[in-house]
């Protein structure tokens, strides 16, 4: 396997994804917030934005404290806004107790919002379910009581491995209600990946479903849970709760497995929300880093709640009659923050869609918008690029006039896709917000405010008030205008991750000491390359570590390498990203085989299948290149930068003096 490099060997100015430096350097288009939009917006001018920035700057604690008191319900008020005396361990809103499910449900039941739609769910075969706040509250209470009846309580980790059904959101809220941290594992991950996450988190229960619908067919999920638990590898895990979704025959293990409807439906619809300390663990969500093992990003109660709430309110400029639709899966942070928690905490109506556009229904998204009269639409650049390719005829068949705001997230957006989105989907009427953030940040960090910030295609524009984002060198010095550097944050913020589950050292080293702290000043290292233009606008170029971004999904190259070398035929593997017009990046694997065996198409297919089984279909390499040896330096390190150039079909430039055997190059060209 490739040796772990102590430092990312990519340069910050090397864009790894589709936002090519050329196109963004020469981007001069600028769109002011539409006057009609700005006149009604919460933050309706750049002056209003700057006033908030100045207020946060002058006294961050007073700023965050005031928002936290105003926007969240507290069982007990907090005494201290931030304790940063032992960085990078942050303690926000110490002394206070609150509950995320209470903030998302109970507090909306007092007035007319009780009968407002909280959740509209659109199932893949065309079925639909709707929940008012009152109804959702009752469902969440029943699920919370069900979990309690299994002996699950405060601090017990519950894993979710779910399709996009309402029970996914209900289960998340039920966990939050009783103080059991959840760990949502994306339903597209394999049994092996699920097993690793169950074991790492010491999960006490799994909530899953018989299956879900994907691209016109029922796909089973429960068998993956059985496989993950085979051999008693997770002794802490006693219960599996199964939602019936597809109705396909499903094996149930007596004493361990229970049907959701058998256990939940008969519970009482009242369950008091557990007062949780601000820093009590709320959830763990695994994400890929630059080493082999995914890290469990830990978020805590009050800070995360405030950040999901406030960013949702600011960025989507939410109004009472909005129908908000975020197309993410609840298995990712975007689904946590902008399908479930941000919208519900604000009392908004959120749409959840089980399906996806597919050849039999290319206009699926547009039909959902038309049917539910969505006003806000939030999706990934990859999806937009795919729609562009399909031609405007498809969206043009639907009535999209209900839309008033568009958002993107997950990867750099190329200006062409941004312009198409604004024009074809937004009718040149809707502001477009390109939102930069990460699993680790809990919510959006850099984004236009649609009533205040002029936008430029391809730029996520300016940091939110209170967010001290910067572009720096590895010593933490700000770089100049239009210079490439590392995206960093100079001050803690409420939604920041608190630790890596079970590995605080890794949290410290990978995020807060990558740039060495000077005079006690800790700087958060995001792992992205960026530059700032003369207006202070941020242009994010992509990852600078060994993480690749495939269709907005983050994958560690080392995880894929580990999966490859776990196959008996493979001796060594090196995985890199290659720019891809649709996916942002495609996965290219360079593989050498055991015992001088030679690779062929059958083995390539076999290895792709193997990676799919080890991680999940999204991690399958697009291309596998076999070679007797991989290019290494004289000290034995795989030369990834060189492989990246080869994968991209670029000429390998002069810096190969350390390459041990130059003849390798010819055998590797893609
Ligand atoms: C990485 C985080 C948080 C949302 C979903 C992804 C990339 C995210 C943007 C954007 C350019 C972006 C970064 C970041 N990214 N948003 N607007 N422009 N790049 O969460 O899986 O934690 O991935 O996604 O590279 O580091 P994630």
92-105 tens-digit pLDDT: 999 999 999 999 99
CA 436–ligand 1 middle distance (angstroms)? 6
Query: Which atom of ligand 1 lies at the shortest distance from residue 542's CA?
Result: 25
In the block, tokens 């989907």 appear at 425
**Is there an atom of ligand 1 within 6 Å of 438 CB?**
yes
Looking at residue 20, its pLDDT comes to 52
Alpha helical stretches, state H, 255-336: 260-264, 301-315, 333-335
Residues shown for the chain: 670
Cβ count within 10 A of residue 120: 22
Q: What is the pLDDT of residue 213?
A: 96
Nearest ligand 1 atom to alpha carbon 439: 22
What is the reported pLDDT for 11? 36
Q: Is the peptide bond preceding residue 387 cis, with omega within 30 degrees of 0?
A: no
240 torsion bin: left (phi>0), alpha (psi -120 to 50), beta (else):
beta
Cβ-proximal residues to 254 (8 Å cutoff; 6+ apart), any chain: none
Which stretches within 152-242 are classed as H helix?
A: 166-178, 191-201, 222-229
Distance CA 382, CA 553 (A): 10
The rounded distance, in Å, linking the Cα atoms of 533 and 556 is: 30
User: Distance, CA 447 to ligand 1 centroid (Å)?
Assistant: 12
The pLDDT value recorded for residue 651 is 75
CA angle, 500 then 284 then 240, to 5°: 135
CA–centroid distance, 412 to ligand 1, in Å, is 8
Closest ligand 1 atom number to CA of residue 447: 17
CA–CA gap between residue 480 and residue 7 (Å, rounded):
23
Q: Which atom of ligand 1 is nearest to the CA of 328?
A: 5
pTM of the model: 0.94
Whether residue 292 contacts residue 558, with contact meaning beta carbons closer than 8 Å, is answered with yes
Ligand 1 contact via 549 beta carbon (within 6 Å): yes
- Ligand 1: centre distance to CA 290 (Å): 15
The pLDDT assigned to 17 comes to: 40
pLDDT digits over 593-650, tens only? 998 888 999 999 999 999 999 999 999 999 999 988 898 888 888 888 899 999 998 8
Q: Which residue has the tokens 């799919």?
A: 612
Which pair of tokens denotes residue 46? 């750049």
Q: 3-class DSSP state for residue 325?
A: strand
Please tell me the distance from the alpha carbon of residue 372 to that of residue 85, in angstroms, as a whole number.
48
| Ligand 1 neighbour 139 (Cβ under 6 A) | no
Provide the pLDDT for residue 23: 59
Please name the residue whose Cα sits nearest to atom 27 of ligand 1: 438
Determine if ligand 1 sits within 6 Å of the CB of residue 460: yes
Residue 25 has a pLDDT of: 67
Low-confidence ranges of the chain (pLDDT < 50): 1-19
Contact 435, 455 (CB under 8 A): no
């Amino acid at each position: 396997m490739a040796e772990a490099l102590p430092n990312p060997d990519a340069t910050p100015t090397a864009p790894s994804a589709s936002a090519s430096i050329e196109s963004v350097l020469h981007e001069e288009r600028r769109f002011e917030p539409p006057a009609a939009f700005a006149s009604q917006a919460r933050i309706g001018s750049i002056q209003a934005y700057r006033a908030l920035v100045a207020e946060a700057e002058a006294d961050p604690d007073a700023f965050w404290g005031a928002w936290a008191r105003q926007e969240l319900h507290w069982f007990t008020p907090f005494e201290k806004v931030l304790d940063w005396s032992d960085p990078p361990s942050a303690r926000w809103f110490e002394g206070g107790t609150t509950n995320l499910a209470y903030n998302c449900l109970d507090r909306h039941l007092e007035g007319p919002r009780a009968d407002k739609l909280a959740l509209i769910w659109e199932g893949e075969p065309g079925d639909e379910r709707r929940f008012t706040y009152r109804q959702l509250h009752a469902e969440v209470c029943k699920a919370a009581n069900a979990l309690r009846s299994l002996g699950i309580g405060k601090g017990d980790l519950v894993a979710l491995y779910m399709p996009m059904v309402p029970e996914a959101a209900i289960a998340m809220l039920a966990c939050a209600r009783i103080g059991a941290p959840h760990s949502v594992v994306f339903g597209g991950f394999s049994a092996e990946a699920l097993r690793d996450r169950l074991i790492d988190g010491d999960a006490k229960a799994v909530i899953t479903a018989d299956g879900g619908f994907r691209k016109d067919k029922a796909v089973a999920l429960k068998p993956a849970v059985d496989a993950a638990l085979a051999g008693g590898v997770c002794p802490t895990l006693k219960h599996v709760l199964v939602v019936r979704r597809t109705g396909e025959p499903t094996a149930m293990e007596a004493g361990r497995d229970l049907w959701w409807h058998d256990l939940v439906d008969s519970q009482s619809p009242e369950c008091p929300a557990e007062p949780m300390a601000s820093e009590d663990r709320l959830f763990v969500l695994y994400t890929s880093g630059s080493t082999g093992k995914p890290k469990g990003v830990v978020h805590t109660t009050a800070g995360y709640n405030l950040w999901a709430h406030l960013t949702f309110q600011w960025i989507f400029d939410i109004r009472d009659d909005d129908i908000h639709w975020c197309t993410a899966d609840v298995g990712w942070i975007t689904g946590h923050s902008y399908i479930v928690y941000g919208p519900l905490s604000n009392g908004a109506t959120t749409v959840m869609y089980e399906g996806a556009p597919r050849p039999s229904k290319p206009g699926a998204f547009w039909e959902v918008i038309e049917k539910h009269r969505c006003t806000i639409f939030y999706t990934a650049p990859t999806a937009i690029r795919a729609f562009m390719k399909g031609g405007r005829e498809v969206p043009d068949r639907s009535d999209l006039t209900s839309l008033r705001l568009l958002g993107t997230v997950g990867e750099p957006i190329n200006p062409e896709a941004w312009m198409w989105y604004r024009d074809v989907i937004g009718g040149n009427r809707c502001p477009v917000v390109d939102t930069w953030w990460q699993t680790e940040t809990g919510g959006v960090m850099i984004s236009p405010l649609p009533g205040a910030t002029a936008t430029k295609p391809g730029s996520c524009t300016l940091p939110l008030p209170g967010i001290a984002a910067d572009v720096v060198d590895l010593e933490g010095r700000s770089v100049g205008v239009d210079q490439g550097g590392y995206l960093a944050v100079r001050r803690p913020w409420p939604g920041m991750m608190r630790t890596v589950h079970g590995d605080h050292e890794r949290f410290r080293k990978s995020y807060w000491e990558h740039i060495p702290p000077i005079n006690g000043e800790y700087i958060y290292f995001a792992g992205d390359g960026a530059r700032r233009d003369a207006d202070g606008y941020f242009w994010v170029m992509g990852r600078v570590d060994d993480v690749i971004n495939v269709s907005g999904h983050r994958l560690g190259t080392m995880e894929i390498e580990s999966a490859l070398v776990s196959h008996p035929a493979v001796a060594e593997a090196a995985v890199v990203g290659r720019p891809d017009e649709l996916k942002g990046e495609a996965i290219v694997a360079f593989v050498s085989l055991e015992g001088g065996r030679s690779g062929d198409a059958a083995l390539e297919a076999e290895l792709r299948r193997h990676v799919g089984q080890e991680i999940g279909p999204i991690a399958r390499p697009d291309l596998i290149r076999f070679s007797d040896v991989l290019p290494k330096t004289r000290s034995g390190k795989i030369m990834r930068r060189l492989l990246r150039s080869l994968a991209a079909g670029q000429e390998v430039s002069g810096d190969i003096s350390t390459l041990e055997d130059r003849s390798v190059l010819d055998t590797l060209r893609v």
